[in-house]
């Protein structure tokens, strides 16, 4: 009893502290509004509208005219932009009617051809619906063998993407956008050494429509690249990406010097990752003969990704986001355990400034 009273005393706070705590609590509770304001800006085409005005930026009335917003909504647009400038998505200079909005390095990535499909994908209704109610999944006996996504939507994300073209298209658009951006900045710039010495064929497992393989092939023309993915994904791939060979992957990975797994293993539980990696190992030659698996995924808490609150928070947010489909964002020691179990002898992590690192895995 005495210990309990002591504990309560320690928690006693002044009114100021309580008000600050309430503010902090509401700040957390309202964090989703930031995401939704960002999506609204994309849906309205605000990044493109500012971009098309050139370096001078755009005032609210210019945005209203360019985007086709009803003039009565101008004050509401100002409120939306206030959230987005406060969070650094856009910048603003001047005030009142002269306030001028510009792109920041963040919103530059949302201009057409950039990462908007990925941000829209984060907020995909079925995905958000599953995350909105985790109680049943955490507590119900019947939900133990199911992913959060399955509990909410009655089927897995991959089943939904296969049967519902809208979901399939949105998923691929998100992945294509991420791949184009990531490969350019990750593999062909900071991680160029990872691919420049590769001579033999490369197979991108779970490579979607082939955006990653196409970007790799264009940066390293000597590499013969092929893509494996599920039949409906291969069938819906556009035909314009050079001579990238697309194959349906279900059980077998064809022989290659390098197997690429970009943003694949974080979708799967440890035991599934071990199975996938064993298949990859069967497909590649020895290390001396140039065999390796390249994994592009987060390494939670890795030296470069643990810089600052943004990277720390994004890593753990992504982990819960991917928990939706039974995926996991892993720390170095968790990766190591999987690699050892799959029979690999060594690995090397090349750190990057972004969310994901490059892992080279050797047989
Ligand atoms: C998160 S996406 C990553 C796509 C791509 N690697 C990228 O980063 O843009 C996962 C991919 O794995 C594919 N996939 C899911 N299950 C698969 C399976 N059993 N065999 C092959 N591909 C599969 C999906 O169709 C999807 O294209």
**pLDDT tens, 118-171?**
999 999 999 999 999 999 999 998 888 899 999 999 999 989 998 999 999 999
Mutate to test the pocket of ligand 1, among 156, 215, 230, 326 (most ligand atoms within 8 A of CB): 230
Confidence of residue 94 (pLDDT cuts 50, 70, 90): very high
pLDDT for the residue 309: 83
Which regions of the chain does DSSP assign to beta strands (E)? Answer: 58-59, 90-93, 100-103, 202-205, 225-229, 245-248, 258-262, 292-297, 299-300, 330-331, 346-350, 357-362
Tell me how far apart the alpha carbons of residues 7 and 295 are, in angstroms, rounded to a whole number. Answer: 48
Tell me how far apart the alpha carbons of residues 125 and 246 are, in angstroms, rounded to a whole number. Answer: 30
Least confident range from 51-60, 230-239, 322-331: namely 230-239
Mutate to test the pocket of ligand 1, among 117, 122, 206 (most ligand atoms within 8 A of CB): 206
Q: Is the CB of 330 under 6 A from ligand 1?
A: no
Q: Kindly report the protein residue whose alpha carbon is nearest to atom 9 of ligand 1.
A: 175
Res 7 pLDDT > 70: no
Tell me the mean pLDDT in the region 95-123. 95
Q: Is the CB of 182 under 6 A from ligand 1?
A: no
Token reading at 325: 């489909």
Torsion, CA 31, CA 33, CA 35, CA 41, rounded to 10: -150
Tell me the mean pLDDT in the region 307-314. 83
Res 6 pLDDT > 70: no
Mutate to test the pocket of ligand 1, among 115, 229, 324, 354 (most ligand atoms within 8 A of CB): 229
Token reading at 156: 């897995």
Q: What's the mean pLDDT when you consider all of the chain?
A: 89
Confidence of residue 189 (pLDDT cuts 50, 70, 90): confident
Res 303 pLDDT > 80: no
Strands 346-350 and 357-362: antiparallel
Q: Does domain 175-362 have CATH number 3.40.718.10?
A: no
Q: Is the CB of 246 under 6 A from ligand 1?
A: no
Structural domain 31-110, CATH architecture: Orthogonal Bundle (1.10)
Tell me how far apart the alpha carbons of residues 239 and 185 are, in angstroms, rounded to a whole number. Answer: 24
Q: Which residues, at least 6 apart from 84, have a Cβ–Cβ distance to it below 8 Å?
A: 37, 38, 41, 90, 107
Atom of ligand 1 nearest to the CA of 158: 15
Confidence of residue 308 (pLDDT cuts 50, 70, 90): confident
pLDDT for the residue 304: 56
Q: Is the CB of 230 under 6 A from ligand 1?
A: yes
pLDDT for the residue 249: 45
pLDDT for the residue 192: 73
Place of tokens 């690999």: 344
Going from the Cα of 188 to the center of ligand 1, the distance in angstroms, rounded, reads 21
Tell me the mean pLDDT in the region 316-340. 96
Going from the Cα of 12 to the center of ligand 1, the distance in angstroms, rounded, reads 51
Angle at 272 between CA 284 and CA 136, to 5 degrees: 160
Residues 17-42 have pLDDT tens digits of 999 999 999 999 999 999 999 999 99
Q: pLDDT exceeding 70 applies to what percent of the chain?
A: 91
Residues 204-254 have pLDDT tens digits of 999 988 888 888 888 888 888 888 988 888 888 776 554 455 554 445 678
Q: Is the CB of 208 under 6 A from ligand 1?
A: yes
Decide which of 99 and 8 is more confident.
99
Q: Domain extents for the chain?
A: 31-110, 175-362
pLDDT for the residue 1: 46
């Amino acid at each position: 009893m005495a210990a309990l009273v002591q504990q309560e005393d320690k928690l006693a706070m002044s009114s100021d502290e309580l008000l600050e705590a309430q503010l902090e609590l509401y700040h957390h509770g309202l964090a989703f509004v930031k995401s939704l304001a960002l999506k609204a800006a994309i849906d309205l085409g605000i990044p493109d509208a500012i971009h098309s005005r050139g370096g001078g930026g755009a005032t609210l009335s210019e945005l209203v005219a360019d985007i086709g917003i009803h003039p009565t909504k101008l004050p509401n647009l100002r409120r939306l932009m206030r959230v987005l400038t406060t969070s650094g998505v856009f910048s603003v200079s001047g005030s009142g009617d002269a306030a001028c909005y510009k792109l920041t390095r963040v919103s530059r990535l949302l201009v057409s051809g950039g990462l908007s499909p990925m941000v829209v994908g984060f907020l995909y209704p079925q995905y958000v619906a599953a995350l909105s109610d985790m109680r049943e999944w955490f507590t119900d006996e019947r939900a133990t063998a199911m992913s959060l996504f399955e509990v909410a939507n009655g089927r897995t994300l991959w089943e939904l993407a296969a049967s519902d073209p809208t979901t399939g298209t949105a998923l691929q658009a998100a992945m294509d956008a991420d791949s184009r951006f990531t490969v350019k900045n990750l593999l062909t710039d900071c991680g160029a050494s990872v691919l420049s010495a590769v001579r033999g064929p490369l197979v991108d497992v779970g490579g979607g429509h082939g955006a990653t393989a196409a970007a790799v092939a264009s940066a390293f023309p000597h590499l013969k690249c092929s893509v494996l993915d599920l039949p409906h994904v291969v069938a819906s791939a556009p035909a314009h990406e050079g001579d990238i060979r697309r194959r349906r992957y279900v059980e077998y990975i064809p022989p290659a010097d390098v197997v690429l797994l970009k943003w694949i293993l974080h979708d799967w539980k440890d035991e599934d990752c071990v199975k996938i990696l064993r298949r990859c190992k069967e497909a590649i030659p020895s290390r001396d003969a140039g065999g390796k698996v390249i994994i592009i995924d987060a390494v939670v808490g890795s030296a470069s990704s643990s810089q600052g609150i943004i990277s720390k928070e994004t890593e753990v947010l992504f982990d819960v986001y991917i928990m939706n489909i039974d995926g996991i964002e892993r720390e170095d020691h968790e990766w190591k355990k999987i690699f050892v179990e799959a029979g690999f002898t060594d690995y090397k992590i090349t750190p990057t400034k972004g969310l994901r690192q490059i892992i080279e895995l050797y047989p």
